[in-house]
Amino acid sequence: MKGALLYSQVLFLMFAFSEVSASEYMMEEADAAWKAGVAKANITPEKYIWMGGYAFRNHPAEGKITDLWAKALALEDANGQKAVIVTMDLVGISKALSDRIRRQLGAKLHLSNPQIILNTSHTHTGPVVGDLSADIYNLDAAERKKVDEYADNLQAKIVNLVVEAFSRMKAVRLYSGNGITRFQVNRHTNVESTLKGTTHLNGPNDYAVPVIKVVDGNNKMMAVLFGYACHNTTLSVYQWSGDYAGFAQIELEKDFPGAVALFFQGAGGDQNPLPRGTVSRAVQYGKALAAAVEAVIVGEMKPLDSRLAVTYSEINLPFANRPPTKEELVRIINDSSARAYPAYHKRSAKRFLNTLEKGESLMSSYPWYPVQVWNVGGQAIFAFGGELTVGYTVNLKRIFGEDIFVLGYSNDIMSYIPTAKMLTEGGYEAGMSPVFTTPYAGTVENIIIGQAIKEAGKAGISPTLSRNR
């Protein structure tokens, strides 16, 4: 008995004074061979530049409610497979900026597109970013220059952020789970102005709060990656803010000192936080989301094996109609009737007309739509471009089960991505593709879901054909 006690004491002292702590040794013994690094960078514009998200904007930002952040979680499995997810408090990023960032990460860290997810929260109280939504706002040369300078600085910050995250890699454990909160309302199937006296809300919806927890060798939480499928449109003021998602991250980092909280936007293209309009509402929704995350964190979560598989492809999404001719564009530009296109569409028409006059053609489909799948130790993560609508999550969960994570607003924001049903119903989210005169073809949902199934198969994720929804 005394010998056993002495032996245990010697082991304790060896661990205490060795370079590898006892907790790290036990982690290795438990086959927890994940490595992770996390970093964050303040991306609040240094100048008051134009804000993105709302077409009514007519002047630059005037102040700040919260800072805006970019955060990176870098992962490496037992076989040395690496990946990184970057979350940003921004309305979105274009394919051009995304491609530049990913090319630089390829050059610096040998990462390829399948290994990189660039997700934006879609806050409508953040800046216009480079050429994204360039036609929405009537920017003069000075304002355009400020927007372009911000995009250039952002690109450098994101690349440096990812490099920093990989430089901080350490042994960790990963866990996943799903919570729930219910402040999203389907804006496609409900009328906001009539909701005050309504007791029934129409769907579809997905109230899931997906969570990945990262804990270090001392069992201290190092990072929490979480999401929700809802527009960050509680606020429409001229002050920088991460909206409800920003407040949720602030709350979690306050409750778990030293941890980095990263928010990703889900398939929230047709979901709004309602009611809305005040900072107190944004704080309320942020706290509700943080509480849902905390309920998952302190509960029983699924441990994730140290194996990582990543896949990515870009596919062609057809349009319903042919692109406009020169004559049609001229009519749109000169139309002053009550039924005329809004000013931002007329600016697009002028850009399209300039393209045709240079002898170039307009796109008749969108050929670069990104579909990405990660298998993180058994946790399926699907990431899509554009303002993905919630019906995609509903359908993917029917195929792959309720526990999957679905991200929209990733890698390239080109338009809303409506379901086939929405395209037959019409409405704001269904009305246009990247060419504003035509919606997508009714086949796009089948094309996207079909590609997601293919990518999932490559990543070792099998359909479960859930019948519970």
Residues 221-247 have pLDDT tens digits of 999 999 999 999 999 999 999 999 999
Q: Is residue 46 part of a domain?
A: yes
What distances in angstroms separate CA 227 from CA 137, 196, 216, 372, 404, one per listed residue? 29, 27, 22, 17, 12
- Tell me: do 349 and 303 sit in the same domain: no
- Tell me: do 343 and 233 sit in the same domain: no
pLDDT tens per residue, range 261-300? 999 999 999 999 999 999 999 999 999 999 999 999 999 9
pLDDT of residue 132: 77
pLDDT of residue 11: 34
Q: Is residue 79 part of a domain?
A: yes
- Tell me: do 408 and 340 sit in the same domain: no
pLDDT tens per residue, range 182-213? 999 999 999 998 888 788 899 999 999 999 99
- Tell me: do 338 and 391 sit in the same domain: no
Q: Is residue 123 part of a domain?
A: yes
User: Model-level pTM?
Assistant: 0.92
pLDDT of residue 196: 80
Q: Which of 437, 211, 181, 162 is nearest to 285 (CA)?
A: 181
pLDDT of residue 197: 75
- Tell me: do 243 and 353 sit in the same domain: no
* Owning domain of residue 87: 34-194+203-308+369-413
pLDDT tens per residue, range 241-266? 999 999 999 999 999 999 999 999 99
Is residue 1 very low, low, confident or very high in pLDDT (cuts 50, 70, 90)?
Answer: very low
- Tell me: do 240 and 169 sit in the same domain: yes
Task: Map residue 113 onto helix, strand or coil.
Answer: helix
Q: Is residue 87 part of a domain?
A: yes
Q: Is residue 459 part of a domain?
A: no
pLDDT above 80 for 112? yes
Is residue 32 very low, low, confident or very high in pLDDT (cuts 50, 70, 90)?
Answer: low
pLDDT tens per residue, range 33-65? 999 999 999 999 999 999 999 999 999 999 999
- Tell me: do 43 and 95 sit in the same domain: yes
- Tell me: do 248 and 338 sit in the same domain: no
- Tell me: do 224 and 298 sit in the same domain: yes
Q: Which of 212, 209, 293, 280 is nearest to 254 (CA)?
A: 293
pLDDT above 50 for 437? yes
- Tell me: do 159 and 90 sit in the same domain: yes
- Tell me: do 358 and 401 sit in the same domain: no
pLDDT of residue 466: 54
Provide CB contacts within 8 A for 407, sequence distance 6+.
117, 119, 227, 264, 265, 266, 267, 381, 382, 383, 384, 388
Give percent of the chain above pLDDT 90: 87
Q: Is residue 27 part of a domain?
A: no
The mean predicted confidence, pLDDT, of the chain is: 92
- Tell me: do 254 and 331 sit in the same domain: no
Q: Is residue 114 part of a domain?
A: yes
238 DSSP assignment? S
Query: Structural domain tally of the chain?
Result: 2
pLDDT of residue 198: 80
- From CA 108, how far away is CA 119, in angstroms rounded? 20
pLDDT of residue 194: 86
The kind and range of the H/E element at 63 are strand 63-64
Q: What is the DSSP string of 396-435?
A: HHHHH-TT-EEE-SBS---SEE--HHHHHH-STTTS--SS
pLDDT tens per residue, range 124-166? 999 999 887 778 888 999 999 999 999 999 999 999 999 999 9
Q: Is residue 20 part of a domain?
A: no
Domain end marker among 413, 429, 448? 413
Mean pLDDT lowest among 6-15, 365-374, 420-429: 6-15
